[in-house]
C-alpha cells in the first residue's frame, strides 16, 4: 500500500531529496481542494521520489505541485504542467489529460481512475527491509498507526518474522507481526543503535500475546519476534542495522518534520536514558 501523502510527508520527502518545498500549511490547504483520486496520484509520485528513484517525471510532478501550493503558479497552469504525467486506464504508457474545473470553486482537478495494481506491484512499492537468517527472516515496513481523534495518521514500523521451512523458503503466510507504538519507535531505534544493551515490548496484538525483543551481541543485534510458544530470532549484522535505523528515523521525521535528523537521534538517545 502506498503511504498516504500527508502535508507533513510531502514536506519531509522533498526536503530529504533537496527539492524546493512549500510549507506544511500550504500543502494542507492544497490537499483540501483536491479530490481523492488526485491524492492517490500525489502519493504514487511521492513514493517514487521518497525511494530515491531517479524518476524525472515524478520529480517534475511534485515540484509543480509545490509551485501551486506556494501560489507561484495559478491553478489553470497546473493542468498544463501536470497533465502529461497522469496515467489513464487501458494505456499505462500513454499520458492522459486532466479536465479543468468548470467553476472557480471546483476542485483543482479530477483524474481518471488509474488501473488497479496487482499484489506483486504493490509489494514492490512497499518501503520494506528484509533480513534473512538461517532459521527465520525479518521484514520491517514503514507503516501507519490508526488515526487519532483528530484524524492524524502517525508513521511507525511493523516488524514481521517468518520461519524458514524445510524447502528453505520462508513461511510469510504464517508470519508473526508486531506494530510499534509511538513511544516504542524511538526506543526500538535506540536498541538497534546499541544505546541500550537490550529492550523489549510485550502484550502486543489483539490477544496480547506478542513480544518483540532486541539485544546487542557481537557483530550486531539479535531481534526476536514471538507469539505464545513460537519464537523467531534473527541475527542482524551491523551492516544490516543501517537500513533498519534509516527506516525508523524516516518514520520519526514524518511524525516530526520540524526536527533535523541529528536532533531526532539526540532525542532518541535521551529517551533511552543516555546523555545528549
pLDDT number for residue 12: 82
Sign for the pseudo-dihedral over CA of 111, 117, 121, 122: positive
- Evaluate whether 89 touches 113 at the Cβ level (below 8 Å): yes
Measured in degrees and rounded to the nearest 5, phi and psi for residue 244 equal -65, -50
Residue 98: predicted pLDDT: 34
Instruction: Identify the architecture of domain 127-271 in CATH.
Output: Roll (2.30)
Residue with cell 507504538: 181
Mean model confidence pLDDT for the chain? 80
45-95 tens-digit pLDDT: 888 887 765 567 788 888 888 888 887 765 545 544 554 444 333 333 333
> Quick one: which H or E segment has residue 84?
none
Query: What number of residues does the chain have?
Result: 276
- Structural domain boundaries of the chain? 7-118, 127-271
> What's the confidence (pLDDT) of residue 41?
83
Question: Tens digit of pLDDT for each residue in 149-165?
Answer: 777 889 999 999 999 99
- What percent of the residues of the chain are helix, what percent strand, and what percent coil, each to the nearest 5? 40, 25, 35
- The dihedral over CA atoms of 21, 22, 23, 24, expressed in degrees to the nearest 10, equals -80
Pick from 37, 60, 33, 42: which is nearest to 6 by CA?
42
Strand bridging mode 155-163 / 136-144:
antiparallel
Residues paired with 132 in a beta bridge:
137
- CA distance linking residue 141 with residue 159, whole number of Å: 7
- Tens of pLDDT, residue by residue over 26-41, are 888 888 877 787 888 8
Q: What is the 3-state secondary structure (H, E, C) of 160-197?
A: EEEEECCCCCECHHHCEEEECCCCHHHHHHHHHHCCCC
* pLDDT at position 114: 42
Strand 128-132 to 136-144 pairing: antiparallel
pLDDT > 70: what percent of the chain?
78
Q: Which residue has the cell 514481521?
A: 160
pLDDT score recorded for residue 65: 85
Amino acid at each position: 500500500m502506498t503511504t498516504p501523502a500527508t502535508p507533513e510527508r510531502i514536506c519531509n520527502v522533498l526536503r530529504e531529496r533537496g527539492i524546493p518545498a512549500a510549507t506544511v500549511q500550504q500543502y494542507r490547504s492544497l490537499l483540501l481542494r483536491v479530490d481523492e483520486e488526485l491524492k492517490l496520484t500525489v502519493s504514487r509520485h511521492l513514493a517514487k521520489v521518497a525511494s530515491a528513484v531517479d524518476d524525472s517525471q515524478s520529480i517534475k510532478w511534485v515540484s509543480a505541485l509545490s509551485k501551486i501550493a506556494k501560489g507561484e503558479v495559478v491553478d489553470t497552469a497546473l493542468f498544463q504542467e501536470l497533465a502529461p504525467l497522469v496515467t489513464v486506464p487501458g494505456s499505462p504508457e500513454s499520458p492522459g489529460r486532466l479536465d479543468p474545473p468548470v467553476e472557480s470553486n471546483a476542485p483543482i482537478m479530477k483524474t481518471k481512475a488509474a488501473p488497479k495494481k496487482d499484489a506483486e506491484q504493490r509489494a514492490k512499492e512497499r518501503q520494506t527491509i528484509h533480513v534473512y537468517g538461517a532459521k527465520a527472516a525479518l521484514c520491517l515496513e514503514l507503516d501507519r498507526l490508526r488515526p487519532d481523534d483528530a484524524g492524524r495518521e502517525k508513521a511507525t514500523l511493523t516488524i514481521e518474522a517468518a520461519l524458514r521451512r524445510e524447502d528453505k523458503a520462508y513461511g510469510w503466510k504464517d508470519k508473526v507481526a508486531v506494530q510499534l507504538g509511538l513511544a516504542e519507535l524511538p526506543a526500538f531505534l535506540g536498541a538497534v543503535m546499541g544505546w541500550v544493551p537490550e529492550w523489549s515490548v510485550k502484550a502486543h496484538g489483539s490477544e496480547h500475546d506478542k513480544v518483540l525483543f532486541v539485544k546487542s551481541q557481537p557483530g550486531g543485534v539479535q531481534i526476536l519476534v514471538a507469539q505464545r510458544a513460537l519464537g523467531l530470532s534473527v541475527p542482524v549484522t551491523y551492516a544490516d542495522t543501517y537500513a533498519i535505523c534509516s527506516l525508523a528515523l524516516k518514520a520519526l521525521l514524518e511524525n516530526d518534520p520540524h526536527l533535523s535528523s541529528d536532533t531526532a537521534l539526540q532525542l532518541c538517545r535521551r529517551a533511552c536514558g543516555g546523555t545528549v
